[in-house]
């Protein structure tokens, strides 16, 4: 999250989304680097994760910047009103997410979309994964991961790059 936080610090977004927030780790990083008055909407499918994330945000003194939302990312995004300046996606895993088009719709031109979990691309391309990801992502995870990477790079609405360490995709909406 240090790289994502540096991007936030450099771009100073005021409306952010954190997809797949878990216990709020990434939301806390985002909130700590935003300008005063910035707002983060942090979504996770598990209400127990959202409850813990709220506790951590309160302890960190950042709860006034973060709205935690329990629900499936795709369903919450269907009701969201853009545009957003910055979207951090830690909810996808191996296969292109069903909310792909919606994220692009919600992101303002010039806005940034960061995506975690791209260690899967290295594992898929190397043929020597560090573990058996099929338990989490199905047997076709290598082909699905590569197909998603290709979809991102071919999308004319985005400028996309990857970093190896940390394994992160960064897309800027044209």
For the residues of 16-50, what is the DSSP string, one character each? EEEES-TTTHHHHHHHHHSPTT-EEEEEES-HHHH
Question: ∠ at Cα 16 (10, 21), nearest 5°?
Answer: 110
Residue of 118, 106, 110, 109 whose CA lies nearest to 152: 118
User: Given this model, what pLDDT does residue 36 score?
Assistant: 86
Looking at per-residue pLDDT, the higher value among 65 and 1 belongs to 65
Paired residues of 40 in beta bridges: 16, 66
In whole numbers, what is the pLDDT of the chain averaged over residues? 95
Percent of the chain with pLDDT over 70: 100
The CATH code for residues 2-173 is 3.40.50.150
- pLDDT (mean) for 43-61: 97
Average pLDDT over residues 21-42: 94
With H, G, I as helix, E, B as strand and everything else as coil, classify residue 125. helix
Could you state, in order of their start, the residue ranges of all structural domains in the chain?
A: 2-173
Q: 107-115 and 168-173: which strand pairing?
A: antiparallel
pLDDT over threshold 90, residue 86: yes
Q: Could you give the angle at the alpha carbon of 148 between the alpha carbons of 75 and 80, nearest 5°?
A: 20
Q: What is the pLDDT averaged over residues 105-119? A: 96
> Cα-flanking dihedrals φ and ψ of residue 9, to 5°?
-60, -40
pLDDT of residue 8: 94
- DSSP H or E run through 111: strand 107-115
| Rounded mean pLDDT, 94-108 | 97
Cα distance between residue 112 and residue 124, in whole Å: 25
pLDDT on residue 111: 98
Cα gap 133→142, rounded to integer Å: 9
Q: What is the pLDDT of residue 1?
A: 80
pLDDT at 41 over 90: yes
pLDDT tens-place string over residues 137-153: 999 999 999 999 999 99
Is the separation of the CB atoms in 168 and 4 below 8 Å?
yes
Per-residue pLDDT at 109: 98
Q: Inform me whether the pLDDT recorded for 49 exceeds 90.
A: yes
């Amino acid at each position: 999250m240090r790289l994502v936080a540096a991007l936030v610090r450099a771009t100073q977004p005021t409306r952010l989304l954190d997809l797949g927030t878990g216990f709020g780790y990434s939301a806390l990083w985002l909130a700590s680097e935003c300008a005063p008055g910035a707002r983060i909407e942090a979504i996770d499918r598990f209400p127990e994760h959202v409850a813990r994330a709220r506790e951590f945000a309160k302890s960190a003194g950042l709860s006034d910047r973060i709205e935690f939302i329990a629900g499936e990312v795709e369903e919450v995004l269907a009701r969201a009103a853009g545009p957003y300046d910055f979207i951090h996606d830690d909810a996808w895993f191996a296969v292109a997410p069903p909310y792909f088009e919606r994220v692009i719709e919600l992101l303002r031109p010039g806005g940034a979309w960061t995506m975690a979990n791209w260690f899967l691309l290295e594992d898929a391309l190397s043929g020597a994964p560090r573990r058996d990801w099929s338990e989490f992502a199905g047997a076709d995870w290598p082909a699905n991961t590569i197909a998603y990477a290709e979809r991102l790079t071919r999308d004319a609405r985005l400028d996309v790059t990857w970093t190896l360490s940390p394994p992160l995709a960064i897309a800027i909406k044209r």
